[in-house]
């Protein structure tokens, strides 16, 4: 019986150390281009914006071309973007899409799935902080979500939000 308690204690201790190391580690700061595999980056400009056909021949549907970077799955990250609210009330937003440029998903076509992040922010983010570009910090997952507005290839469990200009200085 004593061995069992020692084993359980060691398992708990290792779990606590692992979680503590993850929780206290600094997030990896990403740009939108970082979400795209190297082999597919020719389809995007230097800022991570998809190259669009402005000739009037473009389809209004979201391009499903684009893969995720599986090595980012489970990473603590920080990424800037614009918010498209999905769930919440007049004071706080609890679910939103994070997109690389203003108007994405509102104008057609929306960005490819690997350029949209579905964010769950259980604490709720204050609405007044979400009109400009912000940084969102949280655990990134390579997870497909199909929504009315678009399909996403990443999701993020939000932990913190900060103003972009506060970070850029």
Q: Which pair of structure tokens corresponds to residue 118?
A: 């579905």
The confidence band for 155, taking pLDDT boundaries of 50, 70 and 90, is very high
Statement: residue 13 has pLDDT above 50: no
Q: Which domains does the chain have, with CATH numbers?
A: 27-50+60-168 (2.40.50.870)
Number of Cβ within 10 Å of residue 115's Cβ equals 28
pTM: 0.76
Q: At which residue do the structure tokens 């769930």 appear?
A: 87
Q: How does pLDDT run across 52-76, given as a tens digit for each residue?
A: 655 555 556 777 667 899 999 999 9
């Amino acid at each position: 019986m004593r061995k069992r308690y020692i084993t359980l204690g060691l398992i708990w201790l290792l779990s606590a150390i692992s979680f503590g190391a993850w929780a206290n580690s600094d997030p990896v700061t990403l740009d939108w281009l970082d979400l795209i595999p190297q082999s597919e980056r020719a389809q995007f400009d230097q800022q991570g914006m998809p190259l669009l056909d402005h000739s009037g021949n473009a389809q209004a549907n979201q391009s499903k071309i684009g893969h995720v970077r599986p090595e980012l799955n489970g990473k603590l990250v920080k990424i800037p973007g614009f918010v498209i609210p999905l769930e919440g009330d007049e004071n706080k937003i609890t679910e939103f899409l994070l997109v690389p440029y203003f108007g994405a998903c509102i104008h057609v076509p929306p960005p490819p799935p690997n350029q949209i992040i579905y964010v769950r922010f259980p604490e709720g983010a204050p609405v007044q902080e979400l009109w400009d570009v912000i940084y969102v910090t949280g655990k990134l997952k390579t997870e497909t979500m199909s929504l009315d507005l678009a399909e996403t290839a990443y999701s993020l469990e939000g932990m913190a939000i900060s103003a972009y200009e506060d970070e850029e200085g």
